[in-house]
Amino acid sequence: MERTAYHFQPPKNWMNDPNGPLFYKGLYHLFYQYKSQAVVWGKVWGHAVSKDLINWKSLDFAIIPSERYDIKGCWSGSATLLSREKPVILYTGQDNSSRQVQNMVVPKDPSDPDLREWVKIPEIPIIVPENGINGSSFRDPTTAWLGKDGKWRIVVGNKEDRHHNGKALLYISKDFVHWTKKKNPLHSSKKTGMWECPDFYPVAPLGKLGLDTSATGPEIKHVLKVSLDDTRFEYYTVGTYITDIDRYVPDNTSADNKNGLRYDYGKFYGSKTFFDNHKNRRILWGWINESDSVQDDIAKGWSGVQAIPRAIWLDNVSKSQLIQWPVSELESLRGNKIYKENIILKGGSVIEIEGVKAAQVDVEVSFELPSLIDLEKMDANLDAQQLCSQDGAASKAMVGPFGLLVLTSEDLAEQTAIFFRVGLHQHNMKILMCSDQSRSSLKTNVDKTTYGSFVTFSFNKKDVSLRVLVDHSIVESFGEGGKTCITARVYPNLAIGEDAHLYLFNNGVSSVTASKLTAWDMGYAHQP
């Protein structure tokens, strides 16, 4: 299998969670969980730097197991800038007793923009699982924020064994070395299991700019994201941070459990945001894991990729969900461009889009909706992913499925379909967005799960938009300007390199018009 062209991945072996991203002295830093000797699971911190979040230079490992408190693994964590000259990293170590403890490193030379060497402070571990905390469910410290009282705060992921409740344990410190656990967690939710990789940060009520992690105010909302160890996907809520009592209260605009809002409804886990103080935006990183077998990973010599970094902000209209969009720096890789207008897609039509390299392409398209009458009644007992899985792109409704076929063979035997379907669900008109991998490969030993979600949409509008990034074995899709995102991991046999094709399609009854379509060949980023 070909390596990706513009998604971050190390030269070989296993990679998973993005760790400790930050901007420091003119460089973006990305750390990540890495297995230096194999393609299965990671335990050291890999490190790379970039001037633009797209082209990367690999550096030596930042943190490796070496002491009693991390000898069995240096796990995920976060970076905090105590000042512009003082970056620190908190991470989870598995100690010689297999407990999970929280540790801290500082740069050996803070004047070095590359931050090549990190030193473990003598006081670590700085936090241990005391007072009944399960030492095997206590990990992934967040970026710290500074309270009005001048004290630092962090959250550590946890679960309560008896009731299987997920928790964000809250710790507070004056000096960033000695930490005290608050009596109550920042937040918890019943029967959600272990909360891995928690992330807690403020979002502005208007605009797309990000906020420093310590920002608070009467109009500012906060986001709490957790990665669910039980289900291997993530969810988030938008809510209010009550600073006087250090409690987070969701707004009750979405479910506070596995049925809640997700950054991404496909292959996307262990995510981490950071405030980019260089361009005043919040950037989201997420890990794309594999869908093939361990044997395949061993054969190709690598496993795991990072999604394209995304700018993330609060939906200025609803105030109840987040918007995500690939960072603008990605556009520097755009090459040959094609543009088309008013392509009429009659029911059952498939139209090839020629003139771009379909295995490595960025596509933006707007679909003009037909008259929304006599819509199908979607099964009210099924959720979005289940609805998408019903016959996938081969289903036939009054409006849809319509969208793109990417990484498609000339005979259409292999295809990954990203599409919309309009219908009535639980008495409401809704747009379903799906990523159908059921025909993505002739291989039989790969996961071909179909993903999907409903897209927040105003039916006063006349068109719905879709952007898709294709990079050989990765398909990242953004519906309605980033309101719904789905990442797929696919392994075509036929639709590779020059033999990959790109199509518009419409399997619905009603005709749909692709009012505008722009596609660009994508170049190669410099990989570590």
CB 524 within 8 A of CB 364: no
* Cβ neighbours around 327 below 10 Å, total: 18
Q: Rounded to whole angstroms, what are the CA distances from 60 to 26, 67, 93, 199?
A: 19, 19, 19, 26
The catalytically annotated residue of 17, 229, 276, 362 is 17
Distance CA 425, CA 435 (A): 19
* Cβ neighbours around 73 below 10 Å, total: 19
Q: At which residue do the structure tokens 């409006």 appear? A: 399
* 17 part of the active site: yes
Handedness of CA 365, 370, 375, 376 (dihedral sign): negative
Distance CA 26, CA 466 (A): 33
Distance CA 469, CA 486 (A): 11
CB 417 within 8 A of CB 405: yes
CB 331 within 8 A of CB 504: no
Instruction: Of 176, 319, 122, 181, give the one whose Cα is nearest residue 240.
Output: 319
CB 508 within 8 A of CB 396: yes
In a 3-state reduction of DSSP, which class is residue 31?
strand
Distance CA 448, CA 488 (A): 9
Tokens standing for residue 431: 């747009």
Distance CA 201, CA 208 (A): 15
Handedness of CA 202, 206, 207, 208 (dihedral sign): positive
Give residue 100's identity as a one-letter amino acid code: Q
Instruction: Of 104, 146, 140, give the one whose Cα is nearest residue 18.
Output: 140
Distance CA 103, CA 70 (A): 8
Indicate which residues carry an active-site annotation.
17
